[in-house]
């Protein structure tokens, strides 16, 4: 879709970071489900924003401003790698499976025996 939007495909547009982002979206969201891919896209898109706000909140307390600016890109890729490993080991069906569990719990909530 991105190539269609731009009207041209160029190898420089898709660097290794973009590939890691797409892989993280699919694995974290859940393999083999469209809803999982959507959950993964939201998660991977919002995670760098959350990281930046948390690091900026602690910039004066734990780290200097220069350290925070240098840590954010490395922390982002490190967290994506760690989350891919965690989701592959602990929850291979990703956020989609967690969503189905929560939904089924609340479906039978007052009478769950």
The band of 61, judged by pLDDT with boundaries at 50, 70 and 90, is confident
Write a three-state SS string for 19-83. Answer: HHHHHHHHHHHCCCCHHHHHHHHHHHHHHHHHHHHHHHHCCCCCCCHHHHHHHHHHHHHHHHHHH
Q: Are 56 and 68 in contact (CB under 8 A)?
A: yes
Please provide residue 8's backbone torsions phi and psi, each rounded to the nearest 5 degrees. Answer: -155, 145
Q: What is the pLDDT of residues 35-58, one digit of tens each?
A: 999 999 999 999 888 888 888 787
80 in a structural domain: yes
Residue 73: give the domain boundaries. Answer: 13-94
Q: Are 94 and 31 in contact (CB under 8 A)?
A: yes
63 in a structural domain: yes
In the DSSP assignment, the letter for residue 113 is -
Instruction: Kindly tell me if the per-residue pLDDT of 112 is higher than 70.
Output: no
112 in a structural domain: no
87 in a structural domain: yes
Q: How many CB atoms lie within 10 A of CB 53?
A: 10
39 in a structural domain: yes
Crossing angle of helices 94-107/34-57, nearest 10°? 100
Q: pTM, whole model, 2 decimals?
A: 0.73
59 in a structural domain: yes
8 in a structural domain: no
5 in a structural domain: no
Domain count, the chain: 1
């Amino acid at each position: 879709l991105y190539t269609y939007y731009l009207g041209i495909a160029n190898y420089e547009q898709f660097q290794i970071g973009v590939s890691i982002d797409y892989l993280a979206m699919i694995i974290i969201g859940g393999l083999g489900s469209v809803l999982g891919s959507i959950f993964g896209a939201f998660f991977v898109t919002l995670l760098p924003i959350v990281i930046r706000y948390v690091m900026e909140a602690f910039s004066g307390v734990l780290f200097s401003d220069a350290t925070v600016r240098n840590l954010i890109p490395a922390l982002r890729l490190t967290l994506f790698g760690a989350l891919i490993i965690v989701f592959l080991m602990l929850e291979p069906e990703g956020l989609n499976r967690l969503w189905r569990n929560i939904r089924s719990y609340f479906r039978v909530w007052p009478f769950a025996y």
